[in-house]
Amino acid sequence: MAKFTLNINGTKQEVDVDPSTPVLWVLRDHLNLVGTKYGCGIAQCGACTIHLDGTATRACMTTISSVGNSKITTIEGLSEEGDHPVQKAWLEVDVPQCGYCQAGQIMTASALLEKNPNPTDEEIEMAMNGNICRCGTYTRIKKAVKLAAKS
Amino acid sequence: MTLVKTKIGRRAFIRNTGLASGGLVIGFSWLASCKMTPEQVNSLPDEWFELNGFLKVGDNGMVTIMSPNPEIGQNVKTSMPMIVAEELDIAWKDVLVEQAPLNTDIFTRQLAGGSQSIRQGWESLRMAGATARHMLKEAAAQAWGVSADEITTKDGVLTHEASGNSAGYGDMASAATGIEVPEEVQLKDNGNFSIIGTDKKNVDGKKIVTGKPLFGLDVYKDGMLTAMIVHPPAFGMKFKSMNAESVKSMPGIKDVFHFEAYPEDVEKQWSDGGAIPELVAIVGNSTWECMQAKKALNVEWEEVSKLESTSYHEEALASLLEKPQEEPARKDGDVEAAFKKAAKIVESTYSAPYLAHNTMEPMNFFAHVTPEKAELLGPIQTPEFLEQTLVSRLGMPAEKIDVMMTRMGGGFGRRLYGTFAVEAAAISQKMNAPVKLVYSREDDMTQGTYRPSYKVKYKAGLDENGNLIAWHVRGAGTNDDLIFENRFPAGAVDNYLAEKHSLETNVTTGAWRAPRSNFIAGAEQAFMDEVAEAAGKDPLEFRLELFDRAINNPVGDPEKNDYDPERYAGVLKLVKEKSNWNTETGESRGVAAYYCHNSYVAQVLELENGGGDIPRVSKVTCAVDCGIVINPLAAKNQIEGGIVDGIGHSMYSALTFEEGKPEQSNFDTYRLMRNSEAPKDIEVHFVDNGIDPTGLGEPSLPPVIAALSNALYKAKGRRFYKQPFINDKPPLVG
């Protein structure tokens, strides 16, 4: 076990865990931030996507010891009132079916738009390809990303 | 208006029922929806008045509606309360929604399966709203000294025009609880609907996009331990021995033990179909610590039955296709005689592999079992069956067992089989502690309860004018006999023979979104295309000709056919118009239609020409007849999802076995469709016929597989017979 001081959603948090623990399980099991989802554990599905210094990152394969001073943003910290343009677009288009993958989708989409505010269809697809939606909301996801890009 | 007797769910109308059981109190903060706006939160009523088990009215006029059925992403948590709200005549903005726990005293059929929630809930949901509205009107009538018949309602306001009296539902809610429950109530005419048929957004939408706890895996409680299981690595194996001692001392680990999840004397329900009798449990403080212990644990397994490989399943199914069925499932006329005189014969064989459900949220459940009671909370499509199994497994009466449903990260049939919840209860009972059981993705994918693998052979005969005179289908599946003998084209062909076989295997199988239909529709409708081509006819017109036959001069007893040929033809005609079928677009197009879950779907799928090895779906035009559409916005989402699901799995997915062991265990080897592979556009059209609503969650999946393979034929110049299509010989890539 080792102590780590993390910067999560703008707040300093201290945890005492095994250094090999992935950020995903630190968030979920130790910090009560359950918006970041477990889907595969091997960075294949994107359900656990967070921002590490603004870059979309898979929390299930990022060990807590590798984070250092990097800023972690989770879905809970993407906006204060749930009114980030991507979140608003997701609601407007009524994207979710089961909803389980959507936090990860939104984190990937918001990181994309931060770097590329006007992505083409192909750029959206390539950026979103790491996030599986088993319910098949892909066409709505693309629509929502485009809507968010407009706002 | 329609007058209906309030007989169904009569117990639901007994006021002050045992609704506030212990479990509910725990569940409420969890299960309430987050549709509330800040204004609504500020205006929550001081007091609620329960008018029946489905709803309560606040003193300020707000209404809470219980959503009875499990929510797996099919959106019943929005659409079922919409039906109650419609008959209650309340504005949707004044409605809060809560997930009901299992309560068989109030609700009937709290089950997510067979696309039946709306169809089978339709009457009781309407009655719940209409009965409460009636009681509010009676209360107002008594208060004002007027006849209830003269009182009108709109958006939660009662009005008596002649006397000029008017009051909100909240003002009359208290008095309404004293009104006799009516023996019969009047339901609205379809033409007067103001909520049903309008777009309403997902009531959990805000919670979903802000990452609030909603799902089973998000359950965390004081003193809760995490548990994981280790199941046999191959079908046909069982536990032999293990060295648990070294693992027990690992950090955070509380216990490691072998246990009987399903001892022999447990009275099983059908929902326990995939149960693995013996398992190993690892219990610890956190998920990661349990995962580490799982990796370190060494378990010995022993072979108890045949270790089957995919090659065995394929050969065994193929040999069944050579075997006639002793008593054919259906036989009209004489196919053999017809084949002899046929001008043309067409024959093809289609097959598909096992599929895993792969819900994005792996199986999990929270259980807290004490000698006094059992509390279960988690993702389950069949809570009532789970409770019955728990009665037997825990040796506890149903009154002491509370089963509550969380929102589910996907279902697709997998969570019909709640063995994981029984396992969680058994582990909690043994540990005497609250426990959340978590399956890893690998546990989830390799544990069983798969979509069966299938093989089917068709033979059709055409006369010299290209008329279909004979149709023979013989199908086989693993633990499933595949054929729906009374579906189309039964009734439309003079000589028809349907035969079916099941291959018993030890690989456990279960319902997977649109069971059986998810394969047989793709095969039947692809074969229909081949037959139409051999007949020299347009594939869509060829199908319409057959429906004309089934309408005008059906073969055999038309009551036996479990489809309505007019509605079937109706969706084909609609998709023909909407896709501009008769206009040559230059793109590769395929058409298909299918009936299942009481609904009719026809699709035209277009592939982009050119591009890479795997052509991209540019557009799917879809016509749906599911009767009244409750919530078009969400209904389209379901149709779109089914289309993506059908294309994705038939194109890319497979679960194969080597010596009983699944060869895919995670998304690096099990391929699911990705964003860039999804159709670029999906257009959905509903038939507006005012018929009572039917299934919606499943029917769009089966036919799209044929629409895809028929379009692939146009693009590639060869037929695709074996799923996943990318691997059909020669593979589309490589």
Give this complex's ipTM.
0.99
Residue with tokens 């033809």, as numbered in its chain: B569
Query: If pLDDT is split at 50, 70 and 90, which confidence band does B16 have?
Result: very low
Query: Which range among A80-94, A112-126, B118-132 shows the weakest confidence by mean pLDDT?
Result: B118-132
Which of the residues B39, B203, B210, B700 would you substitute to probe the A interface, choosing the one with the greatest number of A C-beta atoms within 10 Å? Answer: B210
Distance (Å, whole) CA B531 – CA B253: 62
Nearest-Cα distance to chain B for A69, in Å, is 23
φ/ψ of residue B414, rounded to 5: -60, -40
Strand pairing of B364-369 and B435-438? antiparallel
pLDDT (0 to 100) of residue B495: 98
Q: How far is CA B639 from the centre of its chain?
A: 12
φ/ψ of residue B474, rounded to 5: -135, 120
Distance (Å, whole) CA B563 – CA B558: 9
Distance (Å, whole) CA A41 – CA A61: 7
pLDDT (0 to 100) of residue B227: 98
Q: Other CB atoms closer than 10 Å to residue B324's CB: what's the count?
A: 10
pLDDT (0 to 100) of residue B32: 47
Instruction: Assess whether pLDDT exceeds 50 at residue B347.
Output: yes
φ/ψ of residue A146, rounded to 5: -65, -40
Q: Does A132 touch chain B (CB under 8 A)?
A: yes
> Does B12 or B376 have the greater pLDDT score?
B376
Instruction: Give the pLDDT mean for B464-476.
Output: 98
Nearest-Cα distance to chain B for A104, in Å, is 9
Q: Contact at 8 Å (CB) between B378 and B424?
A: yes
The structure's pTM equals 0.95
Mean pLDDT of all residues belonging to chain B: 93
> Does B6 or B230 have the greater pLDDT score?
B230
Interval B596-650: pLDDT, tens: 999 999 999 999 987 678 899 999 999 999 999 999 999 999 999 999 999 999 9
Contact between A135 and B648 using a beta-carbon 8 Å cutoff: no
Distance (Å, whole) CA B127 – CA B148: 18
pLDDT (0 to 100) of residue A151: 86
pLDDT (0 to 100) of residue B26: 28
Instruction: Assess whether pLDDT exceeds 60 at residue B25.
Output: no
Chain B residues in contact with A34 (beta carbon < 8 A) = 211, 213, 217-218, 220
User: How far, CA to CA in Å, does B360 sit from each of A98, B114, B156, B220?
Assistant: 9, 20, 39, 19
Strand pairing of A49-52 and A55-58? antiparallel
Contact between A34 and B211 using a beta-carbon 8 Å cutoff: yes
* Option in A30, A129, A139 nearest B640 (CB): A139
pLDDT (0 to 100) of residue B356: 98
Residues 78-117 of A with CB under 8 A from B: 78, 82, 87, 90-91, 94, 96-103, 106
Shortest CA distance from A101: residue in chain B: B360
